[in-house]
Structure 1
Amino acid sequence: MIYQKQECNGALYQMCLYSMGTMPGMSPRQRAGRRRTTEKAKQEINRRQRKWRLMQLINANFVSGRDLFVCLTYAPEASRARALEKFHAKMKKAYAKIGLTYKYIAVTEEHDMDGEPVRLHHHLILSGAHGVQLAEVVRDCWASGLADVRTLREGADFFEDTAIYLLKEDCHKGKGARRYSTSRNLTPPAEPVRLRLGEEEEAEVPPGVKIIEHVQNANEFGRYEVMVGRIYNQAAFSAWWAAQRRKAAPDPWERLRRRRQRKV
């Protein structure tokens, strides 16, 4: 069986699929190989999903050229206890005074791009406003050191470069550790569409979508595939997407409710 997950957020389309479970008639060797392949596929897809999730959050809540990219560093003598928490509280009050809503994504780092230890610092994406100068507001609210304030720019499709930069410490985080923190008022990504496909079925490129990333890997035990695209024809894509949602695998709790109803 092939498990497929598709997501659509704004103009960003994402799809991943991988083999899961074992099939009748498989030898013990094939079953073991299938499980190993499935586990490796999940690890690779999970790594990509962390990047995608952050890209989705950025695209759903922030705008290139309007919002801010900030780096907060500490002075040698500054206390780090709850410093970032206090900063958020001050920023929320300062934004409220000028009629703005404060939103953020924050990442705390202790390593550089090469994995070498560096002094603790924070990278943040903050909500901004066209025609409003907020750099001094940020600096006034950060009392623990220096604040480097820049305009957020989309250097690659859907802020992929920004997401990769913010997640560069991913390999130093333990399993289950938080990669970043966010304000509670962020717009969440849309619910994905999950499908179960036959072993020989192939993923299709949706109409109205230009693929910008496509990765495939397969062996005798199974396969996985990742596809990322930009939606350029919303009308064509929307009709196809509606059909995909109708085919979506039902909620597992819904299946349980149906079985109970049949027994009654």
Structure 2
Amino acid sequence: MSRETEAVLQLISQHEDQILTEWQQEAGAASTRITDANRRAMRGEAEDMLRALREALQAGGDPDQFQAAAWGSLRQVLEALSRSRAAQGQSAGDTSVFVLAFKRPVFKLIQQKFSSDGVHQMGIVWVVSALVDRMAQWTVATYQHTREEIIKRQQQDLLELSTPVIKLFEGVLAVPMIGTLDSSRTQIVMETLLEKIVETGSRLAIIDITGVPTVDTLVAQHLLKTVSAIRLMGAECIISGIRPQIAQTIVHLGIDLQGIASKSSLADALELAMAQQGFTVTRNK
């Protein structure tokens, strides 16, 4: 352990309460939304970080090697802090400002304790500044990764919500599709529909593409794969929503939909499905 690092360890060990109090005040002054609950949470976060920092320094952690095992506990505390704040809707800047606020009380102590040795004082300041900067950078990196995970999960949820499988009546399911049909969405549709076929024992599925803006070769291939998977499960499929423009495009692309029942509207597909299932509809006079 270097002389400067040892001095930092002594400062945070001997003046923990003072550092925590002034750190909280500095972070609170930089925050635009602070409540009593925020203050209590901030105090707990600061205590966890300071404890992990002290343990890392006691274990001989080199501030220049922040990826080393000695700093593992501190990195975990920073990651938990960043994830928690990201889930609360706070920005990466808010979290970074909180971590950087640690500098002020420590610099104040360094100035008081080592004013007689300017060279040593500057060495300690440099160690603290470099270390806290790395801590702040770690929270930003974790925040970005967490936000990416949240966005991916939300996108997955939206995909699932945008492709519901509806049971129309006994033995018949329907999947209304809206928007662009790509590989990931097709996979979700296929998995959800096949699971529903097994769950309900349905023998017929209607895939309605009225809300699909365009049909190209890729979209058609996705549809054919879905139909093939449905047939492997022992069920049949009707594609509805074949508008004149889509019909022309399919013919122009040379896509073979032979053997697959298709209708121009969902109402026509429903009528065909009822006929295939042996249902008849009569109007009361």
Q: TM-score range by the shorter chain?
A: under 0.3
Task: Judging by fraction of residues, say which structure has more helix.
Answer: 2
TM-score, normalization by structure 2: 0.24
Task: Judging by fraction of residues, say which structure has more strand.
Answer: 1
TM-score, normalization by structure 1: 0.25
RCO higher in 1 or 2 (8 Å CA, sep ≥ 6)? Answer: 1
